[in-house]
Structure 1
Amino acid sequence: MTASLTATFDTRREAEMAVERLVQQFDLDRDAIRIIAEGEDNSVGEDTAGADTEAGAPSPDDRSDAPLNGAIRVTVDLADDTAAAEVRDAFAEFDASDVDRA
């Protein structure tokens, strides 16, 4: 049985951290994971995080150009249900919302 789990993240950083947890800790194939902006425009999420936030000295000037154009969606294709709990745990650890099974 093939299934997909999809979740929404407020920041690109949260989405990427969830993906790294799935790949590094749970050995999921990176090719089975997709990260996309929820809308049609480029987006780093709905909130700034990571490199899009204010940096400490001696970093370059603060950035104000982060494209905050909507949430980030992560979809994980699963060959069977054995990894579904691990995917849900990783999504929850990094504050995912709207976790759906497709």
Structure 2
Amino acid sequence: MSRPTVVVTDALPPQVLAGLSAQFAVHRCDGADRPALLAAVAGADALIIRSATRVDREVLAAAPQLKIISRAGGRSRRCRCGGCRRSRHPGRHGTGRHRR
């Protein structure tokens, strides 16, 4: 059985990526590169973003199996969680616990 796929679009601390990789198939892409982002989310189960990635209806439409979007590091105006809920994608803001 294959592991769920998590797309990470922005820099995360190495220890966070290592922890994710232990449980998930992690695919990294540049969230500012729109074509790369749209291609990456096509097979993703989860999407982890930071401030450089903009999630909108186009991204959501390109991600038919996406189950959750998480904003690592705190709140962001780049991921409209209300819009995510209306379009069947739960959005979550990270706690920022990985910060020093």
Normalising by the smaller structure, the TM-score range is under 0.3
Higher relative contact order (CA 8 A, sep 6+): 1
User: Which structure: larger Rg?
Assistant: 1
When normalised by structure 2's length, the TM-score is 0.26
